[in-house]
């Protein structure tokens, strides 16, 4: 593998470049909003931020592939040793409404090992998380780790129970997990998984319908913090459409409840 310390520095520089685009536009509220074919919101800031990031990757990492939410992937995304996976603004609906809970997600995926590095930059929250496998996870430069809560009955749970959970026949399963936890909140998007990584929340069940760029950056951070992030069947898969993160102590119990 290449020097991941150097790649982390590069990823943090990409986050700096993204923040320089997103935060002023968020503050000024001067952007247009469109709907994609799937009826999710997208702004010119999403597209412009991804363009800035991809231009830097193409210039400074020409031997790496790239894959983004707004502009698709490079031709070598399936064969390159490393691929940068970018979500320019995770939480676009929040961005549009003036809610500060949104972030740029930057993940580095190795062809054989999967996601090995992640950066989540939320400038309106003045918070940035990052993690590298086998080298720890951090929030604003301070080491973070998952909680030591040992059972779901004592756990704080964040859950995003969208209608697609109902469409796959899992509403009752979601209700069972909710009733089993000590306390339930809905922090949503990237934030709930970062709260798991820093030990403030013990388990997070995301919406159904995620995309790879929603997940790739999160996996290394949660894992480097000592936790687990899998799909709803318990498999680590950055290409999945679901994401369940936890401190690891009762992860299998949650998965069993969701798949029963």
Claim to verify: residue 64 and residue 124 sit in the same structural domain: yes
Number of Cβ within a 10 Å radius of residue 184:
16
Do 245 and 124 have their domain in common?
A: no
3-state class of 65 per DSSP? Answer: strand
Q: 103 pLDDT exceeds 80?
A: yes
User: Within this chain, do residues 94 and 134 fall inside the same structural domain, yes or no?
Assistant: yes
Query: Among 49-58, 89-98, 163-172, 222-231, whose mean pLDDT is lowest?
Result: 163-172
**Is the same domain home to 122 and 157?**
no
Whether residues 36 and 118 share a domain: the answer is yes
In this structure, the answer to whether residues 181 and 57 fall within a common structural domain is no
The reply to whether 8 and 136 lie within a common domain is yes
Q: Residue 76 — very low, low, confident or very high, per pLDDT cuts 50/70/90?
A: confident
Pairing of the two strands 183-185 and 228-230: unpaired
Q: What is the pLDDT of residue 39?
A: 60
Radius of gyration of the chain (CA): 17
Last residue of a domain, one of 120, 144, 168: 144
Residues 82 and 38 in one domain: yes
Three-state DSSP class for 11?
helix
142-162 mean pLDDT: 95
Same domain, 174 and 124: no
CA pair distance 195, 206, nearest whole angstrom: 13
Task: Choose the final residue of a domain: 118, 144, 170.
Answer: 144
Structure-model confidence comparison of residues 245 and 165, the more confident one: 245
Number of domains in the chain: 2
Which structural domain range is residue 205 located in? 152-259
Residues 120 and 167 in one domain: no
> What CATH number is attached to the domain comprising 49?
3.30.540.10
Name the band, by pLDDT with cuts 50, 70 and 90, for residue 37. Answer: low
Query: Taking 80 as the threshold, does the pLDDT of residue 75 lie above it?
Result: no
Give 115's strand partners. 109
Structure tokens at 105: 């997600």
Among the residue ranges 35-44, 216-225, 231-240, the one predicted with the least confidence is 35-44
Query: How many residues comprise the chain?
Result: 260
Average of per-residue pLDDT across 175-187? 94
| Mean pLDDT within 153-171 | 86
In this predicted structure, which of 27-36, 113-122, 133-142, 161-170 has the lowest mean pLDDT? Answer: 161-170
Task: Look at 122 and 73; give whichever has higher pLDDT.
Answer: 122
Whether residue 184 sits in one domain with residue 99 = no
pLDDT confidence of residue 188:
86
Helices (H), the chain: 4-28, 44-60, 92-97, 163-167, 171-180, 189-197, 212-215, 218-224, 251-259
The count of C-alpha atoms lying within 13 angstroms of the C-alpha of 150, restricted to the half-sphere facing its C-beta, is: 0
| Distances, alpha carbon 187 to alpha carbons 54, 128, 155, 180, in Å | 29, 17, 15, 18
Average pLDDT value over all residues in the chain: 93
pLDDT of residue 227: 98
Q: Select from 144, 160, 193 the last residue of a domain.
A: 144
Residue 2: pLDDT band (50, 70, 90) is low
Residue-level pLDDT at 163: 79
Residues 213, 220 contacting (CB under 8 angstroms) = no
Furthest CA-CA distance within the chain: 50
The tokens for 179 are 């009733």
pLDDT at 71: 77
User: In this structure, are 71 and 55 located in the same domain?
Assistant: yes
Comparing CA positions, the residue from 110, 84, 104 lying closest to residue 1 is: 110
Residues 173 and 179 sit within 8 Å (Cβ to Cβ):
no
pTM for this model (two decimals): 0.94
| CATH of residue 174 | 3.40.190.80
CA separation for the pair 159, 121 (Å, rounded): 21
Residue 225 phi/psi, 5° resolution? -85, 0
- Contact in structure between 202 and 196 (CB atoms under 8 Å): yes
Burial 40-73 (b: 16+ CB within 10 A, else e): ebbbebbbbbbebbbebbeeebeebbbbbbbeee
């Amino acid at each position: 593998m290449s020097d991941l310390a150097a790649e982390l520095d590069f990823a943090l520089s990409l986050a700096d470049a993204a923040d320089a685009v997103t935060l002023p536009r968020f503050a000024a509220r001067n952007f247009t909003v469109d709907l994609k074919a799937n009826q999710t919101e997208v702004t010119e800031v999403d597209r412009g931020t991804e363009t800035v990031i991809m231009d830097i990757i193409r210039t400074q990492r020409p031997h790496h592939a790239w894959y983004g939410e707004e502009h698709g992937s490079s031709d070598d995304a399936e064969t390159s040793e490393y691929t940068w996976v970018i979500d320019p603004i995770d939480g676009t609906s929040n961005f549009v409404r003036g809610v500060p809970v949104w972030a740029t997600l930057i993940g580095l995926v190795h062809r054989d090992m999967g996601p090995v590095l992640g950066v989540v930059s939320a400038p309106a929250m003045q918070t940035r998380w990052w993690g590298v496998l086998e080298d720890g996870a951090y929030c604003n430069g301070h080491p973070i780790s998952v909680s030591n809560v040992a059972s779901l009955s004592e756990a704080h749970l964040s859950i995003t129970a969208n209608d697609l959970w109902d469409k796959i026949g899992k509403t009752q399963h979601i209700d069972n997990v909710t009733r089993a936890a000590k306390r339930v909140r809905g922090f949503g998007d990237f934030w709930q998984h970062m709260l798991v990584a820093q030990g403030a929340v013990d388990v997070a069940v995301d919406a159904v319908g995620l995309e790879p760029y929603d997940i790739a950056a999160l996996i290394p951070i949660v894992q480097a913090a000592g936790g687990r992030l899998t799909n709803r069947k318990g498999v680590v898969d950055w290409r999945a459409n679901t994401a369940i993160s936890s401190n690891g102590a009762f992860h299998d119990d949650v998965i069993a409840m969701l798949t029963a």
